[in-house]
Amino acid sequence: MMDSAATNGTSNAPIALETNGVTKIYGSGDNQVVAVNQVSIRVLAGEFVALVGPSGSGKTTLLAVLAGLLRPTSGSVWIDGQELSRMSDGQRTRFRREKIGFTFQANNLVPYLTALENVELMVRLTGACKSECRERSVELLTRLGLGDRLHYLPRQLSGGQQQRVAIARALIHSPAVVLADEPTASLDSERAFQVVETFANLIHLERRAGIMVTHDMRLCRFVDRIVRMRDGQVAHIITDRAEIDALAKGE
Amino acid sequence: MGAYLAFKELWRNKGRFLLVSMVIALITMLVLFVAGLAEGLGLGNIEYLSKLNADLLVYQKDTELSIAASRIGLSRLNDIRRVEGVKAVGPLAFHRVTIVSGPTMLGIARRPLDVTMIRVEPGQPGEPPVVSGEQLKNTRGKDAIIDRNVALRTGYGVGDVFTVKVIQGTKEQFYPLKVVGVTDGRQYSIQPSIIVPYLTGEEIRPKSEVEFGPRADLDCNVVAVQLVNPAERNFMKERLESLVSGIEAVDIPTAYQATPGYAAQQGTLNTQRYFALLIGVLVLGGFFQIQTLQKVPQIGVLKAIGVSNLTIASAAMFQIVMVTCLGVFLGGALTLMLSLALPPVVPISFTGSQVGLALGSLLVIGPLGGLVSVRYSLRVEPLVALGLNQ
């Protein structure tokens, strides 16, 4: 297993996510494609990890397996002490809404819900959104600089603002793991830095495990660890702060 | 949760959903009007027969239950009257005449009105009960009971005198009749009716050149028969047919369903009604299917963040039901307003059961049409949120 010591004071933190020899094969026979091959990683609570690699390296498939959207062909995924790969479809759906936070590249928000309602949605899925949930939603959105946009619909928000709402939604229900699939793909550089920096700060502050798939190495300056994938395998794990910063600067 | 999502989407896209509701409202109006027309035209054909105060109707044999073709003479009428188990008989004859009276009391000219003149024996089966005025008394009196439709369309009431025009031989003849009573709707052959004493009507009825003048034997088209025991209808039908030669006896529903054109007319109108419902299913199905196709990425994200299939399906179904209910309500209200504005000559009639059935069918078509889109949305994979397809 490839393991690492976190560099942001999380070494004593509990393990939030762990995979053991996860393999995902698409198709069968001659059409077989090994998208993810024997991946074993471990992410601690409060740790922010970047999953990088060229297109087709298996990043998104691995993210789908970690989220319980795909069953691994072999291997196991543990989140918050529960083995995801053994759950039924219904159990995994319930697990996702309780233990996992998500942000996507696009179509992140429900278009007919306001920013505040989009954030509250995650809490409503597991019960009623009472005053505490409303206060926390407002607080999160305000912290993300959207205090004056609470009742705006997604179409009235800029791309960066929409991503920040998605981040608030991913964190509102205190998930064990937050997964982000290229959350800045549709943003300009300045907005992308703002969004990922805010995301990283919240991950650390709220002590959640965060995994972000990205193509943009410059964004790695905000992460604690880089997992580089190639041909479905973990090719390299970078934990050294200086090395991470150097990579982020393109050196 | 499904209702919450559905309501929010409806509320924030009011225009789009209202448009679909308006389409449903128009389909509702179409279905209700076709149903009303079917009922109205049906009533226009069979109203008198369907309300007939008799248990059996006797026709001349081998006339295929055609009232116009059937002739029953006085002697055969008496034979029927004498059969054991028969309580009362009433000869019925039907003729077309025209009411051509002068202006109203306010000086407004009345338009000629074609009516069915039904000849009955006063106090015998076939004479409808009046809702105002009195029943026919004099077998040769120049009296008439008019049905509600004649009263509405001519303005005549009890005590008024009107004139009917008939062709006898080659000449137009005019006969004054006094309104002694008004009965409820008793249309026959898509015309309102006047009911006159049998012998009075014999004098008034249209006649050909040949029979113009006194006749040796009176006849009627059919005979209304009341039984001592109405429960023995089938037995009495057979008894009558075996004891009286040359007749065919049927119960009242069989009689009015055999009215020429009635079955074909109802079949045509019902086909229109079913097609309108089918169009409704297709329009609704198409709309919600297109909407679902547009929402596939959004549904994928919802599923990825943990929204269950049940919530997705219930949200879709809630929307469909709400949109359908609103459309049916709007359509029902518009139909009601329009029907109140229609003149009484338009043969549209709404009954509680028929409107209920039409509205029930319309409420079913929404969810039925939306089932395909619900099924489709359930099949959307959450992986689409990540741009993956399994």
Q: Are B181 and B99 within one domain? A: yes
Tell me whether B386 touches chain A (CB under 8 Å).
Answer: yes
Q: Is residue B112 part of a domain?
A: yes
**Mean pLDDT, residues B30-35:** 85
Answer yes or no: is pLDDT of A119 > 70: yes
- Nearest residue, CB atoms, B387 vs list A60, A70, A108: A60
What distance in Å separates residue B314's CA from the closest CA in chain A? 14
Number of structural domains found in chain B: 2
**Residues B7 and B76 grouped into a single domain:** no
Same domain, B268 and B221: no
Whether B250 maps to a domain, the answer reads no
Query: Both B234 and B267 in a single domain?
Result: no
Q: What CA–CA distance (Å, rounded) separates B321 from B364?
A: 9
When CB atoms are compared, the residue of A64, A105, A125 closest to B383 is A64
pLDDT of A1 higher than 70: no
Residue B231: how many CA atoms within 13 Å on its side-chain side?
0
The answer to whether residue B294 neighbours chain A at the CB level (below 8 Å) is: no
Which residues constitute the domain of residue B94? 62-245
Residue B2 and residue A221: Cα distance in Å, rounded? 41
CB spacing of B305 vs A102 below 8 angstroms = yes
Q: In degrees to the nearest 10, what's the CA dihedral of B13, B18, B24, B29?
A: 180
Q: Are residues B76 and B203 in the same domain?
A: yes
Q: Which of B223, B262, B222 is nearest to B70 (CA)?
A: B222
- Alpha-carbon dihedral A129, A131, A136, A137, rounded to 10 degrees: 50
Closest CA to A235 of A227, A246, A224, A243: A227
> Above 90 in pLDDT, residue A23?
yes
- What integer best gives the mean pLDDT of chain B? 87
In this predicted model, what pLDDT tens digit does every residue of B3-20 receive, in sequence order?
A: 889 999 999 989 988 998
Query: A110 and B304 in contact by Cβ < 8 A?
Result: no
Percent residues over pLDDT 90 in chain B: 41
Same domain flag for B232 and B277: no
Contact B388 A122 (CB under 8 A): no
| Per-residue pLDDT at B101 exceeds 60 | yes
Bridge partners of A178, per DSSP, are A101, A210
Enumerate the residues of chain A whose CB falls inside 8 A of the CB of residue B386: 60, 63-64, 69, 104, 181
DSSP state, B52?
-
| B209, part of any domain | yes
Closest Cα partner for A102 from A211, A225, A223, A226? A211
Residue B229 confidence (pLDDT) above 70: yes
Residue bearing tokens 């026979």: A29
Domain identity same for B100 and B236: yes
Residue where one domain finishes, among candidates B192, B211, B245:
B245
Residue at B343 is within a domain:
yes
Which residues of A lie inside 8 Å of B (Cβ-Cβ)?
Answer: 26, 60-61, 63-64, 67, 69-70, 90, 93-98, 100, 102, 104-108, 110-113, 117, 121-122, 124-125, 153, 169, 181
Residues of A in contact with B303 (CB under 8 A): 93
Q: How many A×B Cβ pairs under 8 Å?
A: 80
Residues B36 and B89 both lie in one domain: no
Give the model confidence (pLDDT) of A181-223 as tens digits. Answer: 888 877 788 878 888 888 898 889 888 899 999 988 898 999 9
Half-sphere exposure of B377 (CA within 13 A, CB side): 28
Q: Are residues B205 and B238 in the same domain?
A: yes
One domain, residues B179 and B97: yes
Please identify among residues 128-147 of chain B the ones whose CB lies closer than 8 Å to any CB of chain A. none
Pair type for strands B86-99 and B113-120: antiparallel
A235 CA: distance to closest CA in chain B (Å): 23
Type and span of the H or E element at B132: strand B130-133
Would B258 be classed as within a structural domain? no
Contacts of A94 in chain B (CB under 8 A): 306, 308
Comparing C-alpha atoms, which of B149, B144, B150, B161 is closest to residue B203? B144
Residues B206 and B282 in one domain: no
User: Between vectors from CA A221 to CA A216 and to CA A226, what angle results, nearest 5°?
Assistant: 70
pLDDT of residue A173: 85
- Structural domain contains residue B52: no
Judge if ipTM > 0.95: no
Domain boundary among B245, B273, B289: B245
CB contact under 8 A, B385 and A107: yes
A163/chain B closest Cα distance in angstroms: 14
Q: Which residue of A has its CA nearest to B308?
A: A93
Q: What is the mean pLDDT of residues A80-103?
A: 88
Query: Based on the domain organization, do B270 and B231 belong to the same domain?
Result: no
pLDDT for the residue numbered A11: 59
Q: Rounded CA gap, B248 and B222, in Å?
A: 10
Helices (H) and strands (E) in chain B, counts: 11, 12
